Amino acid sequence: MRILRETRTITLSRTPGRTVEGRVRVRGFDLKSDVFDAHAERHEPVEIVVTELGQERRYRMPRPERPAMVMAALAAPIVARAIARTLKPRRSR
């Protein structure tokens, strides 16, 4: 099993005298065995780097407070209860 922890640089645009790159933090794992192979990666944007005429400007990307998947998992029980209450048959007296 191999653990991935690296920062990758991706060139977003390149023109004469100007280059725009994105830096992405990658975390994940790579598992190879006789039975099965598994690979998973999570990408988190770190910064945008603009190089213009030899000068470099960096624009940092804010880290998300919570990933969207965690928010959905936290909201699921609340939504399920609300749906169950709505669909519950009413008793007639």
Q: What is the pTM of this model?
A: 0.53
Please report the pLDDT score of residue 58 as a whole number: 92
DSSP code at position 88: S
pLDDT value at residue 69 = 58
- Each residue's pLDDT, cut to its tens digit, for the chain (93 residues) gives 778 888 889 898 899 989 999 888 888 877 777 777 788 888 888 889 999 888 999 998 887 666 555 556 666 676 667 666 666 666 655
DSSP letters, 20-80, are EEEEEEEEEEEEE-SS-EEEEEEEEEEEEEEEETTEEEEEEPPPPSS-HHHHHHHHHHHHH
The predicted pLDDT at position 32 comes to 77
CA 38 to CA 91: how far, in whole Å?
A: 52
**What pLDDT does residue 56 have?**
92
